[in-house]
Amino acid sequence: MLRIWRSHSIHRRLFLLFLISMLTLLLLTSVLYYQKTTQIIHTKISDMAEKNISQTVGLFDLMLEGYDSVTKSLNGNYELLRLLEERDGEEDSVLSVINERTITNMIGAVYYSRDDIIGIHVISNSGKVYNYERRFAGIVDINYNSADWYHRLVDSNGQMVWYGLSQGSLINSFLRQDPVFVFGRQLYDLTNYKPIGVILIETDPRPIMNALSNVSISPNSRVYIVDRENNIIASTEPEVAAGEALPESPSFEGLPRPKNNEIVIDNTTDQLIVAANAAMAEWTVFGFTPKADINAELAQTRLYLIVVIAAVFILATLLASLISRNIAKPLKLLIREMKQVELGNFRGAVNVNSFDEINSLVSSFNRMVLRMDELIDRITLSSISEKNAELQALQSQVNPHFLYNTLDMIYWMLDERENDRLGRVILSLSHMFRYSSHWEEASKTTLSQELDQMKHYMNIIESRLDGRIQTEIAIDPRWLEAPMPKMTLQPIIENAVKSGIEPLGHMGVLRVYSEVDEKAQELRIVIADNGIGMSEDTLAQIRTSMMEPVFGSAGAPGNSVNAAGNGGGLIQDRASGAGERSRRGIGLPNVHHRLALMFGDNYGLRIDSKHGEGTTVVIVMPMPIMPQTPPPSSQQLGG
């Protein structure tokens, strides 16, 4: 798997493509699903909050209407109002006691008409107080007339006054420990429309609190009833134990207030805020729910989604690996067989059973390889035939077999006359012709044999030039058995002597040495002279002639074997006369093409020359394989 990730293989690319595609679709679907689910949940919660607060406000209005009916029933009781007015002018008497008991009974009847009323307190203008309550009846705070609640009732002009939730009774100091819901009204004589007193009613707050709890969505939700001045009438904040800090109430300044019967939902802060008006009391009910509680309901959905994504990711990885492997496996087999074809093995075939397109590709490849194998066999046979024809044509130029027997006879005749110098020349010439007459094994020889042939040629040249040439040969003994075409060195040496050194009027030096290019794996035999050299134009003509084919279309030797000129490195026509061109010698293009035929087009001769300085010819061959043991002798010649 690590190798797949580090490579640029089709397996890796297909694996990543399939995996990324499936994961992209999965993540996109998951995100859209989560967003849609979140939107639905928030919408449902908002709808639920709106419905709850609407029901709560409606329930408040019903309860307040009931409380309003209680006060109106007392204010509409003419007998009660008459007795209150009479009691204000009466002295303590038996009739006064009877009237007081009658008033109390009337109040008690109203008290027992509802289960949630804790106490009813009626205060006449003269200051007489009539109470009906469950505990501590008749105990009234003597300073009530200075209390704020009393002044609000007196100043209400007959309107309903809603005090809201109180931690204890406003008028009975012995009932300060239990919360109550308080409201009241000023009593009016409906005939004369003049105030005759006030009524204060305290009820059980539990119905109000239960209604407020209906607005709560989560355990951390808080609900408040707020009046116009942002005073809290009631709330669902938990009770605080002694010594604990009071919870901080929210600021209602700037919060959206609903108009008439509308419901406001604010979702712009970290809390979901809903608000609605209670029409009877001009109160506003606010519900606060932290969004963290709402989002907590999404945790299970999110966890389920994460588990699904993880499972699908594992499945997608396995599926992507399986698909990419099924596609890449036949292609890998095809690539492996292609590498075999690159190495020259055309006998193999790829057998796969995959997709139709890949099967068609493999079948085409198998047919192509088979066709290439057939073509290579044909080209090989054709090339061998062509090379044999070329070699035979080349050999016909240097086949002096009929001469060396005659030269042997001349040598023995000179030996009998004790003409040693001329005898050595004739013997060297005889060896040269004998060497050139044997063309077995496609005219192959070794560097060592070529150097021996060169010694015989230099014996003749040194005798003719009477010591005006010096030969320096430095060949690494490792390369003496290197194969090369026959008659490679002699034409180059002859050309260097004839056209380079011989025209000099002083001593000429001919150097033959070996070089190795390890990077290119090339063996180079360098023949350098200090002759007259050649001009750039002549050098260009020779290089051009070496690039031309040796044979014409008819297979006969062409005119590009030799080139005209007097520069060193160019062999002249030396047949029967200066003007004859009917027979060509073995020129440098001939040698170059024979090397290319044996080793390939990347090998052959490389020529460089400067006029007046000399010529360098480099024979470039592939580096031969080193023998296990070096040859017993080395080739070191000096002249």
> What residues pair up with 234 in beta bridges, in sequence order?
225
More confident of the two residues 173 and 569: 173
513-565 tens-digit pLDDT? 999 999 989 999 999 999 999 999 999 998 888 887 654 433 333 333 333 33
Confidence band of 442 (pLDDT split at 50, 70, 90)? very low
Residues 97 and 232 in one domain: yes
* 243: in domain: no
Rounded to whole angstroms, how far apart are CA atoms 212 and 276?
12
Residues 515 and 546 in one domain: yes
601-636 tens-digit pLDDT? 889 999 999 998 899 999 999 998 765 544 444 444
Residues 205 and 56 in one domain: yes
* 391: in domain: no
Confidence band of 576 (pLDDT split at 50, 70, 90)? very low
Please give the model's pTM, rounded to 2 decimal places.
0.46
Specify the number of domains making up the chain: 4
Q: Which has the minimum average pLDDT: 239-243, 266-270, 304-308?
A: 239-243
Confidence band of 240 (pLDDT split at 50, 70, 90)? very low
Residues 133 and 230 in one domain: yes
Cα torsion 205, 207, 212, 216: sign? positive
* 608: in domain: yes
Residues 264 and 304 in one domain: no
Domain range for 123:
48-236+253-296
* 365: in domain: yes
User: What is the distance, to the nearest Å, from the Cα of residue 122 to the centroid of all Cα atoms in its chain?
Assistant: 84
Task: Report whether pLDDT(577) > 80.
Answer: no
Residue 192, Cβ neighbours under 10 Å: how many?
Answer: 8
Rounded to whole angstroms, how far apart are CA atoms 215 and 209?
10
Residues 114 and 259 in one domain: yes
On whether the CB atoms of residues 192 and 163 are closer than 8 A, the answer is: no
Residues 497 and 360 in one domain: no
Confidence band of 176 (pLDDT split at 50, 70, 90)? low
On whether the CB atoms of residues 20 and 320 are closer than 8 A, the answer is: no
Residues 87 and 28 in one domain: no
381-430 tens-digit pLDDT? 656 755 665 665 555 544 454 455 556 556 665 666 656 666 667 777 77
Would you state the pLDDT for residue 417? 60
Residues 108 and 166 in one domain: yes
Cα torsion 603, 441, 527, 629: sign? positive
Residue labelled with tokens 């995959």: 354
* 390: in domain: no
Mean pLDDT of 307-330: 80
Q: Which has the minimum average pLDDT: 123-127, 374-378, 531-535?
A: 374-378
Confidence band of 255 (pLDDT split at 50, 70, 90)? confident
CATH number, domain at 499?
A: 3.30.565.10
Residues 177 and 66 in one domain: yes
Tally of CA atoms within 13 A in the half-sphere of 556 that contains its CB: 5
* 198: in domain: yes
Would you state the pLDDT for residue 389? 55
Confidence band of 195 (pLDDT split at 50, 70, 90)? confident
Would you state the pLDDT for residue 138? 57
CATH number, domain at 86?
A: 3.30.450.20
Q: Which has the minimum average pLDDT: 196-210, 244-258, 544-558?
A: 544-558
Task: Report whether pLDDT(32) > 90.
Answer: no
* 420: in domain: no
Residues 360 and 466 in one domain: no
Residues 28 and 174 in one domain: no
* 247: in domain: no
